[in-house]
Amino acid sequence: MATVFSFAWVLNGQARTRSHSPAFRSENNSTYTFHLLLGMLTGNWTGDSAAVLRTIGKSDHLHPAKIFHNYTWWLNPALDSIPASFADSVLPRTPADAFTFSKRPARDMSFLSKDSIPSVFDYKATDSSVFYVQKNTFSLHKDANIKNPEYDISANDINYNKSTNIINAFGNKDTSDNIYGKPTIVQQGSKSIMDSLRFNAKSKKGILKNTYYNEGEIFVKADIVKKIDSNALFAKDARFTTCNLDPPHFDFHAFKMKMITGKLAVSGPAIPEFEGVPMPVVIPFGIYPLTRGRHSGFLPPTFEQNSGYGLGFNGLGYYKVINDYWDVTTRANIYSYGGYMISVNPNYYKRYKYRGSLNLQYQFTKILNTSGISRDEYTKSTTVHVGWSHSMDSKARPGVSFSANVNAGSTKYNSYLTNNLENIQNQLSSSVTWSKTWDEGKYNLSLAANHNQNNNTHLINVQLPTANFSMATINPFQKKEQVGKPKWYENLGISYNGTVLNQFSFYDTAFSTQQLKDTMLWGAQHQIPITLTLPAVGPLLFTPSVSYAENWYSRKMDRHWNEETQTVDTTISRGFFAARQMSFGMSMNTRIFGTLNFKKGKIKAIRHEIRPTISLNYQPDMNAQNYQSLQTDTSARRIRVSKFDGNIVGAFGEGSFGGINFGLDNILQMKKVNDKDTTGDPENATKKVNLIDGLSINTGYNMIADSLNWSPINISLRTALFNNKMNVNASMVIDQYDYELGQRVNKLLWKEGKIGNITSGNISMSTSFQSKKADQRSDQQRIEPDPNMPYDQQQRQLQYVRDNPAEFVDFNIPWNLQASFALGFYRTPTPDYKGFFTQVNSSLNLNGDFSLTPKWKAGGSMYFDVGSQEVRMLSLFLTREMHCWQMSINVSPIGRFKSFSIILNPKSGILRDLKINRSRSFYN
C-alpha cells in the first residue's frame, strides 16, 4: 500500500539568475504547475508522475534525476536509491556512473505534518520564485502572494522559513522614493496594509508596523499592531474612524486599543479630532461593535425639550435578535412631566415564506395646560395603538394567500404624537385576509376581518368575519373536446359570487358589552350573472345578459310619524329577512376611428377614437313591498324609505326600469414633429402624444316610468399632460331634474336652457419634476452595498432612510418637486329639506428639495387644507453633506406640534447613534 503526497507549486514570471544551489527556480515567462505523486513506502511511481517528469525533463536544469534527487531527499532523506520503475520508465539510458546517490542521515519530515502549513497551497510571483532546499526556505519576488483558506498575504517580497514558520513581507521603493507593493494581509474579512510584516504561519502571531486596518465600516491606523492570534490584536497609538479617506475628516485618537475580529473594539482614553485638530474633549473609554449582520444591543436616546411634555429622552431602547427569523425592538419616550410612551416592535422574515412586523404602543400623555381654559394643571390621557403588517410569499403555498394590514387604536392616539403627519388624519382602517383558489382558479374562497374608525366621531366599526365565495364563469354547453367552429350557444356563461358579512359598532368613549349586542348586524349578498357573447355582426358586437341578486338581512325597521311627540318613531324587528332583484339586458358596442391630417405645421395628424355603448335593460319592480311612505316633519311632506335601511347590506331600489343606457368613451391622440430627432429615420421623425386618455359620458332613459325618465349624467376624464409629467383625473355627476324641498321633481332643466344640477364632482392632479442627475450612473452603480449584509438587513437600512429623509439626502439630484392637489364636493339637503348646502374637501401636498451648493441642500413638505385656508402641516429641513458626517436642521413652525431640531451624526451605521442633537417642541 502506497502513501501518496501531493505538492502544488506555482511559478510565474521572468528569468532571474542567482547562484544559490541547490535551488529550483523558474527560468522563462511560462507558468509551471508541478504535481509529484511519490510512493514513499513502496518506492513505486505512478504513471502520472512519470509523465510529468518526462515532460519537464526536457530542460537541462530540470533534469529528472536532479528533481528526483532533491525532492526525494527533502521529503524522505532515508531514501538512498532510485526505484527501478522510475529508472526504467523515465530516466534516459546513461552510464551507470553518471549519477551517484549517497545515503544521507534521516531528517525531520514535519514539512507535511498536520501541525504545519497545509500541504497544498497557492503562491505566486511575477519576477521569480526561489526555493532553498538546504536552508528550508523559499522567496517570492515582485507581486508576491501566498494564499490558503485562513489568510491571504500579498507584498513586493515575501520570505518564508519552514523551520521557524516565520513569514517576512516587505515593500519596495521606486525611483521617486515612493513605496509600492506594501504588505497586505486579508484574514476573516479584515484587511491590513502596513510597511512591514513579520508573521508566524503556525501560531498566527505577528508584528505589523505603520498599519492601516480595515474591517467593514471601521478603519484603524496604528504605529504598531501586535497580533496575538488569528482573532485578536493590540494597537498602539491608534486612530479609529469610519471615514475612508487618508487623512480622514475625523477620528478618535486612542493610545491603546484591542480589537477582536468580527466582535468589537475596545479603547482606553481617546481624543476626538476633526480635520487633524484635537477637540478639548476626552472620551474615557470606547466600545465599538464590529459584529457583522444582526446583533443585539442598546439603542441610545435623543434629548428633546417640549413645552407641553417637559424635558424628555426619545428612543431609549433595546434591540434583541431572537433567532434567524425574529427580532424585537423595544423603545421608550420618557418626559419630565410624567408622560411616557412604550413601543414593542417585533419583526419576522423567512425567505420564500412570509414577512411581517408588529407594532404595539402604549402612551400615557401628561401635557401642561397653558391655555387657561381648564382648571387642571395637566391634561392626562391613556391611549394605545396596534399596527400589524404581514405578507405571504406566493411560492410558499401556491393557491393560498394571507395578508394583513392593521392600523387601529385609540382615536386620540395620533393627536398626541409630536411631529406626526398622521395626527391630521381622521380615518383609520384595517384588513386581514386569507384566501384560497383551486381547480385552476375557477373557485375562490376568502375570509377577511375589516375595521374602520372615525377619530372625530369616535365611532368604530368592525366586520368579523367576512366570507366571500366566487366561481369563475363556466360554459355548461361547451364541449370538452372542441371540433370545428363552436356554436353560438356554447358561449353561454354562468358565474356566482356570494358574500356573508358580520358587523358590530361601538364608541371608544362609551364602550359596553350591551352596546356590542345592540349594534351587531349580519347580512349576505348573492349574485348570479348569466352572459352570452353572440357572433359579431360586422363591426357591432352584441352581448345579452341576465342577472339575479338576493340579499339577506338580520333586521328591518318600521317607521311612522307620531303626532303627539311630533317625531318619527322606529320599531326594529330582528330575524331573517330577504329581498330579491332581477335584471335583463342586451348591450351593443363598437369602435369608430377618425383621423384629421395636416399638411403644414408641426402637427401632422389628430386621431380620434370613439367607443359607443348602447344597452337595453329591463328591471321589474320586486321591492315595492319593502318601501313605505313616511312623514318626516309637520309640513306633512312624505318621502319613500326602505325597511332595510341601516343594515350592513344595502337595500335594493324600488320601481321598475325598462329603458336604454348610453355610454360614450373617447380617446384623443396627436402626431407631431419630433424636434429632438437627429437620426433622419422616418420612423423617428414624428412622435405620438396622448391628449385625452379617456373621456366617458354615461346616462340612461327609463321608457316605462311615468316621470323622472332620465338618469343623472356621469362624466369622467383621465389624461396625462406635459409628456406624462402630470396625471389628471376628474369626474362629476349632473342631475337633469330640478329639486323642490329636497326631492327631485319632474322638471327637466335643459328644457329651460340649463345644463342641470351638478350634485357631486372631484378632480385630482399629481406631478413630479426633478433635474438631471449630476452622476448619470444608476444608484446601484454609485452606491456599492456591503456584500456581507443580508438582504433583509439591507431592506431595513432602506426603510430607515425613508423614515429619516433629512438625514439621508440625495445630493446627486440638484432639485426635485412632488405636488398633488385634490378637490371634491357634493350637495346634500339641509336638515329642513328646504335647500342644499355644498360640502367641499380640498387639499394641496408639496414635497421637494433643492441644492444651495453641491454640499448644502434645503427642502420641506407641506399639507394645505384649501377648504379652511389653513396650513395643517409644514416641515422644513436644511442639511450639510460632510462626506462621512452629515448635519441636518429640521423645523416644524406650523401645526399642533411646533418643533425644531439640530442633529450632527456620522453616516456610518456603526456610529449612527453617536450624534449631537438639540430638539425643542411646542404643543398647541
Tens of pLDDT, residues 746-779 = 888 888 888 888 889 999 999 988 777 665 555 4
Q: Are 550 and 523 in contact (CB under 8 A)?
A: no
The helix (H) or strand (E) run that includes residue 668 is strand 657-673
Cis amide leading into 465 (omega within 30)? yes
User: What's the CA gap between 188 and 173, in Å, rounded?
Assistant: 29
When pLDDT is cut at 50, 70 and 90, the band that residue 673 belongs to is confident
The SS3 call for residue 438 is strand
Q: In 3-state terms, the chain is what percent helix, strand and coil (to 5)?
A: 10, 55, 35
Q: How many residues does the chain have?
A: 924
* 165 φ/ψ angles, rounded to the nearest 5 degrees: 60, 25
Residue 72 to residues 59, 65, 251, Cα–Cα distance (Å): 19, 10, 56
Mean pLDDT of 180-201: 83
Residue 873, number of CB atoms within 10 A of its CB? 21
Each residue's pLDDT tens digit, 530-571? 988 888 888 888 889 999 999 999 999 999 999 888 888 999
Q: What is the pLDDT of residue 552?
A: 97
Listed as own residue / partner, the contacts of 73-78 with beta carbons closer than 8 Å and 24 or more positions apart are 73/104, 73/133, 74/111, 74/133, 75/5, 75/38, 75/40, 75/109, 75/111, 75/112, 76/38, 76/40, 76/109, 77/104, 77/105, 77/106, 77/107, 78/103, 78/104, 78/106
What is the rounded CA–CA span in Å between residue 384 and residue 344?
Answer: 12
| 8 Å CB contact between 475 and 492 | yes
Owner of C-alpha cell 395637566: 378
Q: Let me know: does 304 contact 312? Beta carbons within 8 Å.
A: yes
Could you tell me whether strands 627-631 and 638-642 are parallel, antiparallel, or unpaired per DSSP bridges?
A: antiparallel
**Residue 570, Ramachandran bin (φ over 0: left; ψ between -120 and 50: alpha; else beta):** beta
Alpha-carbon distance of 43 to 239, in angstroms, equals: 59
pLDDT tens digit string along 244-259? 777 787 788 888 888 8
Confidence tier at 292 by pLDDT (50, 70, 90): low
Query: 887 to each of 217, 847, 850, 878, how far by Cα in Å?
Result: 20, 20, 16, 8
Is residue 216 scored above 60 in pLDDT?
yes
Per-residue model confidence (pLDDT) at position 550: 96
Question: pLDDT digit string (tens) for 446-495?
Answer: 999 999 998 878 889 999 899 999 999 888 888 877 777 878 888 899 99
Q: What DSSP character marks residue 626?
A: G
| Radius of gyration from C-alpha coordinates of the chain | 42
DSSP 319-365: EEE-SSSEEEEEEEEEETTS-EEEEEEEEEEETTTEEEEEEEEEEEE
Are the CB atoms for 583 and 700 separated by under 8 Å?
Answer: no
Please report the pLDDT score of residue 92 as a whole number.
41
Q: What is the full DSSP assignment across 151-208?
A: -EEEEEEEEEETTTTEEEEE-EE-TTS-EES--EEEETTEEEE-SEEEEETTT--EEE
Rounded-to-integer distance, Cα 209 and Cα 194, Å: 6
pLDDT > 90: what percent of the chain? Answer: 26
Using DSSP's 3-state secondary structure scheme, residue 749 falls into: coil
Residue of higher predicted confidence among 76 and 19: 76
Please list the alpha-helical segments (H only) found in 507-651: 513-519
Q: Are 844 and 868 in contact (CB under 8 A)?
A: no
Average pLDDT over residues 359-369: 89
Rounded to whole angstroms, how far apart are CA atoms 28 and 543?
86
> What is d(CA 472, CA 441) in angstroms, rounded to the nearest whole number?
8
Give the range with max mean pLDDT: 145-154, 492-501, 855-864: 492-501
Least confident of 99-103, 128-132, 299-303, 655-659: 99-103
Which one-letter DSSP state was computed for residue 283? B
- Calpha distance 320→190 (Å, rounded): 26
Interior/surface letters 363-379, b for 16+ CB within 10 angstroms, e for the rest:
bebbbeeeeeeeeeeee
Largest CA distance in the chain: 143
Nearest to 579 by CA among 641, 652, 520: 652
- Partners of 259 in the β-ladder: 233, 265
Nearest to 125 by CA among 14, 18, 28: 14
Cα(148)–Cα(131) distance, integer angstroms: 19
Give the residue from 352, 447, 443 showing the smallest Cα distance to 399. 443
* pLDDT, tens digit (0-9, with 9 covering 90-100), for 782-806: 444 444 455 555 555 555 555 555 4
Cα 51 to Cα 226: distance, rounded to the nearest angstrom: 47
- The answer to whether 183 touches 155, Cβ cutoff 8 Å, is yes
Residue 851 sits at the vertex; the CA angle it makes with 846 and 857, to the nearest 5 degrees, is 80
| Buried/exposed 767-780: b ≥16 CB within 10 Å, e otherwise | beeeeeeeeeeeee
What burial class does residue 687 get, using C-beta atoms within 10 Å of its C-beta: 0-12 exposed, 13-18 middle, 19+ buried? middle
What is the pLDDT confidence band of residue 218, given thresholds at 50, 70 and 90?
Answer: confident
Per-residue pLDDT, averaged over 39-55, amounts to 34
885 beta partners: 882, 906
Q: Which residue has the higher pLDDT, 436 or 894?
A: 436
Q: Among 76, 78, 82, 80, which Cα is nearest to 64's?
A: 82
Q: Flag whether pLDDT at 836 surpasses 50.
A: yes
Strand partners, 568: 561
Helix pair angle (64-75, 47-56), 10° resolution: 130
Confidence of residue 869 (pLDDT cuts 50, 70, 90): confident
Sign of CA dihedral 736, 741, 743, 745: negative
Interatomic CA distance for residues 817 and 815, integer angstroms: 7
CA distance 196 to 214: 17
Instruction: Output the nine-digit C-alpha cell for 221.
Output: 491606523
Q: Which residue has the higher pLDDT, 452 or 276?
A: 452
* Predicted local distance difference test score (pLDDT) of residue 38: 31
Most confident of 93-107, 135-149, 277-291, 578-592: 578-592
Strand locations in 277-325 (E): 277-278, 286-289, 297-299, 302-306, 310-321
- Answer yes or no: are the C-beta atoms of 717 and 734 closer than 8 Å: no
C-alpha torsion angle, residues 479, 484, 488, 489 (rounded to 10): -20
Residue written as cell 344595502? 650
The whole-number average pLDDT for the span 299-313 is 79
Set of cell numbers at residue 301? 436616546
Gap between the terminal Cα atoms of the chain: 92
Angle value at C-alpha 662, between 658 and 663, nearest 5 degrees: 145
Backbone dihedral region for residue 115 (phi beyond 0: left; psi -120 to 50: alpha; all else: beta):
alpha
DSSP string, 360-429: EEEEEEEEE--SSSSSSSEEEEEEEEEEEEEEE-TTTSTTEEEEEEEEEE-TTTGGGSTT-GGGG--EEE
CA dist 41 and 423 (Å) reads 85
pLDDT of residue 895: 66
State how far the Cα of 619 lies from the Cα of 705, in Å rounded to an integer. 11
Average pLDDT, the chain: 77
Give dist(CA 224, CA 212) in Å, integer: 10
